[in-house]
Amino acid sequence: MKIAITGGHVIDPANNVDGQHDLFIDEKGFIIGIGTAPAGFRAEQTLDASGKLVFPGLIDLRARLREPGLEYKATMESETRAAVCAGITTLCCPPDTYPVIDTPAMAQMIQQRAWRFGLAFVHPLGALTQGLQGRLLTDMAALDEAGCVGFSNALEPVTDTLVMRRAMEYAASFDLTVFLHPEDPWLRNGGCMHEGEVSTRLGLPGIPEAAETAGVARDLALVEQTGVRAHFCQLSSARAVTMVAAAQEQGLAVSADVTAHHLHLTEHDIGFFNTQCHVLPPLRASRDRDGLRQALKNGTISAICSDHQPHEPDAKLAPFAESEPGISGLETLLPLTLRLVDQGLLNLVEAIALLTSKPAQILGIDSGHLGIGATADLCILDPEARWVQSLDRFTSRGHNSPFLGWDFRGAVTHTMVGGRLVFEGR
């Protein structure tokens, strides 16, 4: 269907567009005009976006969809639906599914399942080592061929430094990106929250900042040695960010992302054992949160992700250390990012870029922009709508969130994937 989106304020950071323009989409789902209609274009449907923002659909670098393997928590269908309701049109799925994404068949199966529901696009990350066990390499070239956008060992550490070196060398041979979760497992030592004042008060085993910085230092040494393109996932400490910035300064091909919750919460939000704040890597000190925010501003960190982890209620109804880590984050990714704009940290264009064009660049995919010829993955937002996060607002099957009761400004009214309207809001 030919669609015109009229009167909206279009923000397309990749193409330096920031102003009121009409958008024209052809029957195949491509953007064929911006500003003035192409000759002979007759819209079959017109969406009036006056007073609203129109920007590329968001790209979330990390979301657990729980399928295959943990369907009692959520499914591909439920979570890709939650994604489009939140303006997210592309998701990256880490390889720690059951079974692990370490074969081309698994990678293809995940993409085909997602395709069948026709909601958000799902790009798998392939396992860096077989079974994520940190011993044997996966068939990276075949996995790449099967659609994997990068390679990661998810939260499983590759303790053998030589295996990590080989994995990076092998990935570099085929120009593949490795996604790293830097952590020294010995220093982690079974910890469940940031090691500091609050862990001491609560008597919970802590994860020292050095668990992350030692991991970053090791991985950076290997990145330098191997020349691989590396992306650091969800940095949590200010010092780790400084190390990545120094490596970038030095000219290494390293990028980094941060989760939306690490930009807003600290160890103190755990209060008296609030398991909704149990996340990995842990929420750290205020100084760290401020360092992460600064790194967004100065460009060291180039993407914000949800690290979506939907859980059934029982997963959080346990003593803190025994509760399962993670936040159902898809539906607060955009609101928490817009809050950074309201707080004056970022301008709107910078904020949208961190959710669209910049993550697309990290993944090396042609997405996250609204140029002529681009697939019409986009979202329309009412910037003035105010709402309060509550249990009944979740589309995700996971209702585990520390942001219940937070009030937000800005609500998605429409989401389009490949020129099809897949969400139309309240």
Q: How many CB atoms lie within 10 A of CB 19?
A: 9
Decide whether 196 or 329 has the Cβ nearer to another protein.
Answer: 196
Task: Give the span between the Cα atoms of 375 and 416, in whole angstroms.
Answer: 10
- How far apart are CB 174 and another protein at their closest, in Å? 41
Phi and psi (nearest 5°) for 129? -130, 155
Decide whether 278 or 358 has the Cβ nearer to another protein.
Answer: 278
Contact (Cβ atoms closer than 8 angstroms) between residue 210 and residue 237: no
Decide whether 287 or 386 has the Cβ nearer to another protein.
Answer: 287
- How far apart are CB 214 and another protein at their closest, in Å? 16
Q: Is 40 among the residues that bind another protein (CB under 8 A)?
A: no
- How far apart are CB 269 and another protein at their closest, in Å? 9
Encoded one letter per residue, x for contact with another protein by CB under 8 A and - for no contact, window 197-226 reads: x-xxxxxxxx-x------------------
Decide whether 64 or 194 has the Cβ nearer to another protein.
Answer: 194
Contact (Cβ atoms closer than 8 angstroms) between residue 23 and residue 7: no
Torsion of CA 258, 259, 264, 270, to 10 degrees: -120
Decide whether 280 or 303 has the Cβ nearer to another protein.
Answer: 280
Of the residues 219, 307, 377, 382, only one is catalytic, namely 307
Q: How many residues bind another protein (CB under 8 A)?
A: 23
Task: Give the span between the Cα atoms of 143 and 362, in whole angstroms.
Answer: 18
Scanning residues 253 to 282, which ones bind another protein (CB under 8 A)?
A: 268, 271-273
Torsion of CA 21, 303, 390, 80, to 10 degrees: 80
Encoded one letter per residue, x for contact with another protein by CB under 8 A and - for no contact, window 181-200 reads: --------------xxx-xx
Task: Give the span between the Cα atoms of 317 and 321, in whole angstroms.
Answer: 11
Burial class (CB in 10 A: 0-12, 13-18, 19+), 295: buried
Phi and psi (nearest 5°) for 76? -55, -45
- How far apart are CB 408 and another protein at their closest, in Å? 23
Of all helices (H) and strands (E), which one includes residue 414?
Answer: strand 407-417
Scanning residues 317 to 376, which ones bind another protein (CB under 8 A)?
A: 317-322
Phi and psi (nearest 5°) for 34? -140, 130
- How far apart are CB 265 and another protein at their closest, in Å? 13
Encoded one letter per residue, x for contact with another protein by CB under 8 A and - for no contact, window 130-169 reads: ----------------------------------------
In the numeric block, the tokens 């591909």 are attached to 76
Give Dmax over CA atoms of the chain in angstroms. Answer: 70
Q: Is 60 among the residues that bind another protein (CB under 8 A)?
A: no
Do the strands 9-12 and 53-56 form a parallel or antiparallel pair, or are they unpaired?
parallel
Encoded one letter per residue, x for contact with another protein by CB under 8 A and - for no contact, window 305-324 reads: ---------x--xxxxxx--
Decide whether 138 or 199 has the Cβ nearer to another protein.
Answer: 199
Would residue 307 show up in a list of annotated catalytic residues for this protein? yes
Task: List Cα–Cα distances, 117 to 78, 99, 108, 126, in angstroms.
Answer: 10, 21, 15, 22
184 by DSSP, 3-state: which? coil
Decide whether 84 or 270 has the Cβ nearer to another protein.
Answer: 270
- How far apart are CB 195 and another protein at their closest, in Å? 5
Burial class (CB in 10 A: 0-12, 13-18, 19+), 224: middle
Q: Is 287 among the residues that bind another protein (CB under 8 A)?
A: no
- How far apart are CB 200 and another protein at their closest, in Å? 4
Among all residues, which ones are annotated catalytic? 307
Binding site for another protein (CB under 8 A): 195-197, 199-206, 208, 268, 271-273, 314, 317-322
